[in-house]
Amino acid sequence: MLRNSKTVPKIPRINPFYSRWPLPRLAPRRTDHAPADLQFPKFRAFGAGVFGVSKPRQVAILGSTGSIGRSALEVLQSHRGRFELACISCHQQLDLFQKQCQEYRPKLAVVTDSANPQVDLWLSGTEPLSTRRACGNKELIEAISGPQVDIVVAAIVGVAGLETSLAAVQSGKRLALANKESLVVAGELLLDLAKKSGAEIIPVDSEHSAIFQALQCDVASNVPGNANTQRHIAEKQSQIEKIILTASGGPLRDWPLEELEKATIEDALAHPTWSMGRKITVDSATMMNKALEVIEAHWLFGLPAEQIQVVIHPQSIIHSMVEYRDGSVIAQLSPPDMKLPIQYALTYPERTSATARRMDWSQSQSLSWYPVDPERYPALELGFEVARRGGTCGAVLNAANEAAVELFLQSKIRLTDIAKVCRSVLQHHDFATSPSLAELLRQDRWARDEVMRWNKTLC
């Protein structure tokens, strides 16, 4: 159960995955439907208040000390008249968190790890005076559920971010979702909540942001109105042949297969194009990150596993593509910089000047892609299997992977063992088709314990 389930009064909004035309604030719902071939309507700045007076949107960044959180703070800093920093949170990195408080001056700063021995000292601090300090997940959930927050950037790593994602959606917020585990573990629950509350879920993962942007070109499916949501989904799906998620291949993509089991922690963390946290970088080396993204795409875009494909794209310039029924392929391209999808999730449906890196069209550039070798990346097939089966499979796969990656980072198992243990745990779990949140969390704990038992048999 969420600790705070109060319903916050709000203007109804439309989830952009089911209707691509969000209504202007304060406008009544339309019962008539404009012709499908009309262009997108013109808006004032997102967040315009009564009589068109611009009002900064209040943003909460959860997991501000991580790579996504740090990039999100930079984006907000470059749009100070458009957004205000209502809240930031971290779990353990208190030194960096304090520097962020002093530099960005949020209205509220929350440390979620109440067991951290440094928390009491941090809570007694007074700089900056404009920032209120708090501790605990309950404080964070109350803050993002209240009217003082409009947009929640979910950048907490792992299943630890699920509870706050659910709270943001239940409260009808715009959820800029970087925490892929929220959808992998509880995609059906999250989307059902969004339909009921009117919340918006905008992807921040570069691949899913690319798909979301490419779908904006599908004008035929962008019919205004919320009453015929299922018809809109069906129309959108009828236009799409498949979506293609691109993958860098990770730091070991050119290693001989027989050498992979010798990969060290340093080898797995040496990503050639992206600068990310340790866990996600290891996931990139095994391509488990792409397995999770297949599941995420299945929930976000309502497509079966058979309409999702993954290709290796070493340059990380094409972030993903949509292939339509007529053979046309629409792709989103940009240099690898997470500030662009973060900004789009904040400003959607508008585009504004960005600090993200840009393409240099004066320089020669080659783009290539090739199929995924299943022998090199056995973890990827697990993502397709989970997308097909649903139920408790996502929670089990995600938990098993988190536990296995931690063992690898402790030098207790080999990199190539991660996919093996995940498959074993997935095959032996007690499958349920329509689990509750409590059941998903129970399966999460079971899978982590099972990985530990599996590891002990190897010792």
Same domain as 415, residue 353: no
Mean predicted confidence (pLDDT) in 299-315: 95
Same domain as 134, residue 112: yes
- pLDDT of amino acid 29: 36
Domain-terminating residue out of 146, 180, 203: 203
Q: Which residue has the higher pLDDT, 15 or 275?
A: 275
The CA-CA-CA angle for residues 376, 411, 181, to 5°, reads: 65
**Residue 81 CB partners (closer than 8 Å, separation 6+):** 54, 56
Please count the residues of the chain.
459
Same domain as 151, residue 269: no
Instruction: Tell me phi and psi for residue 76, to 5 degrees.
Output: -65, -40
Instruction: For residue 11, give Cα distances in angstroms to 22, 47, 172.
Output: 12, 12, 9
- pLDDT of amino acid 218: 58
Mean predicted confidence (pLDDT) in 6-22: 41
Least confident of 25-39, 108-122, 405-419: 25-39
Same domain as 183, residue 66: yes
Q: Which residue has the higher pLDDT, 422 or 48?
A: 422
Residues 19, 224: contact at Cβ < 8 Å? yes
Over residues 381-404, the pLDDT tens digits come to: 999 999 999 999 999 999 999 999
Q: Determine the residue type at 307.
A: Q
Over residues 220-262, the pLDDT tens digits come to: 443 222 333 444 455 667 889 999 999 999 999 999 999 999 9
Same domain as 264, residue 379: yes
Residues 347, 353: contact at Cβ < 8 Å? no
Same domain as 198, residue 343: no
Percent of the chain topping pLDDT 90: 73
Domain that holds residue 443: 391-459
Q: Which residue has the higher pLDDT, 207 or 218?
A: 207
What is the rounded CA–CA span in Å between residue 197 and residue 189?
12
- pLDDT of amino acid 458: 64
Tally of structural domains, the chain = 3
Same domain as 149, residue 76: yes
User: Would you call 219 exposed, middle or buried from its count of C-beta atoms within 10 A (0-12, 13-18, 19+)?
Assistant: middle
Strand partners, 330: 322
Residues 170, 193: contact at Cβ < 8 Å? yes
Same domain as 369, residue 400: no
Over residues 115-132, the pLDDT tens digits come to: 888 899 999 988 888 999
Q: What's the mean pLDDT when you consider all of the chain?
A: 85
CA 344, 347, 351, 353 dihedral sign is negative
Same domain as 248, residue 140: no
For residue 153, the number of C-alpha atoms closer than 13 Å in the C-beta half-sphere is 39
Same domain as 211, residue 199: no
What is the rounded CA–CA span in Å between residue 353 and residue 371?
35
Same domain as 370, residue 223: yes
Domain-terminating residue out of 169, 203, 237: 203
Domain-terminating residue out of 186, 203, 220: 203
Over residues 71-118, the pLDDT tens digits come to: 999 999 999 999 999 999 999 899 999 999 999 999 999 999 988 888
- pLDDT of amino acid 268: 94
Over residues 350-363, the pLDDT tens digits come to: 999 988 889 999 99
Domain-embedded: residue 27: no
**Domain containing residue 422: CATH number:** 1.10.1740.10
Same domain as 451, residue 403: yes
Q: Is the pLDDT of residue 375 over 70?
A: yes
